[in-house]
Each structure stands twice: as C-alpha cells, then as structure tokens.
A and B are shown apart, each in its own frame.
Chain A
Amino acid sequence: NAGVTQTPKFRILKIGQSMTLQCAQDMNHNYMYWYRQDPGMGLKLIYYSVGAGITDKGEVPNGYNVSRSTTEDFPLRLELAAPSQTSVYFCASSRDRTGSNEQFFGPGTRLTVL
C-alpha cells in the first residue's frame, strides 16, 4: 500500500494563477481531509469528505474548492492564488469517523504564492 500520496511536493505560483493539489489514497478509506499548516502553527482543516460525492467545509475554506468523485481521490483546487495561501498542505484519510480511527497523512505539498 502506498497510503496517502500527494502531488506535487513543491510548487511556486504567481498571484492569480490556479492549480489543483492532488491527493489519493489506496486504503479504501471513506473519510478524507485537507489541512493547511502555516509556519509555527498547527493544522487547520480546509475541507473534508465523508465519502464519494459528499464534501463539507472545514475551518478555513475560503479560496479553495474540492470534489470527491471517487473514494480514492480528493483534489483541492485553488482558483485565484493569493500570498495568504502560501502554506504546506496536507491531505489525510481515515477509515471511519475521526475519533474512532487514526488519520493517515500524506507527505505534504509546499506551496508558495508570489
């Protein structure tokens, strides 16, 4: 099992550009999550999904969009990149509800917006 994979590992964007951060898991997990981690801070939840076709906002959803067309994939879309979106983005998955199962994290995508 590859676990949770994320691409790309690094990316530099110009203000106003768009991009999609890819996330895939091969553990057949129902729940998937996107977090951002700013320097010296903990993780903040952007969006999450409890199954294919179902997504919901987390703590900091503005400026992002997600979709979940399959169980395996949970891409995160930035439409108009802004410097405030410079961060490290982590995707995670869990088999079931967060509390009863650990979350498995991907290696992260480091995004810089200039």
Chain B
Amino acid sequence: AQKVTQAQTEISVVEKEDVTLDCVYETRDTTYYLFWYKQPPSGELVFLIRRNSFDEQNEISGRYSWNFQKSTSSFKFTITASQVVDSAVYFCALSEVNRDDKIIFGKGTRLHILP
C-alpha cells in the first residue's frame, strides 16, 4: 500500500534555529517520486522539491536541504537558520509511476517559527 507518514504534527522553534521535518513513506514500486510542498497561512500550496527514487543525492537550495535515504524510506527536509516567514504547514507526498499518476499526501507538519 502507498502511504506517507509525517509523525510530527506540530513543531515550534525559535527563529534562527535549524529544524528538520521527517517524512517516511511506504511503497511496493521501485520507481516513484517524492515531493515536499509548503502551505503558508495564506492557504496556497507551493511546490518545493521533487525527487525520483533513483536519485539519492542530497539537495540544497538556499536555507533548505533535503536528505533522501531509500534504505530507511525517509525523505527529510531541513530548514537552516529558520525565519518567521518559514512558518507554514509542510506536506510530504509520494507518487508511484505505475499508479495512474495519483499523488498521496501526508497529513502535514505545522511549523511555527517564533520571533
């Protein structure tokens, strides 16, 4: 079964601290894609990153970085030197190539960055 688990429901950190959001997934396919989306208080969904299952290289984009570990079915998202504008709900998602293009979202992690 296809499943995405974000065990952290809510996290609060003080501005400038680093924070890591966890995502664990289940899939029977060998070819799949993983995503992170951000949903700020305004409500829209913003695409952050897509990884395919054959690319385990870590990725860094400014203060954001992602760690994909296939062996543990984990796709972690780290924000370095957090800022108040990072406050949002973050969703991890999974899409299996052979699954009619359906994307399964986790329940999200609500991140509060305190000034």
Contacts and interface: CB of A to CB of B under 8 A. Distances in A.
Interface of A: 31, 33, 40-45, 48, 50, 56, 58-59, 88, 90, 92, 97-100, 102-105, 107-108
Contacts of B101: 31, 48, 50, 97-99
A59 B102 contact: yes
A43 to B, nearest CB: 5
Interface stretch (B12-20, B56-64, B75-83, B103-111): B103-111
Contact of B43 (A58, A88, A99): A88
Contact of B45 (A56, A98, A105): A105
Interface residues of B, number: 25
A45 B94 CA distance: 13
Nearest to B50: A102
The 9 nearest A-B residue pairs measured at CB: A42-B105, A99-B33, A105-B45, A98-B101, A102-B47, A99-B95, A43-B105, A98-B95, A42-B107
A43 B6 CA distance: 13
A109 to B, nearest CB: 10
Contact of B106 (A42, A56, A97, A99): A42
B98 to A, nearest CB: 10
Interface string B23-57: 00000000111010000000111010010100000
Interface of B: 4, 9, 31-33, 35, 43-45, 47, 50, 52, 91, 93, 95-97, 100-103, 105-108
A48 B33 CA distance: 18
Contacts of B103: 33, 45, 98, 103
Contacts of B52: 99
Nearest to B4: A42
Nearest to A104: B47
Contacts of B93: 42
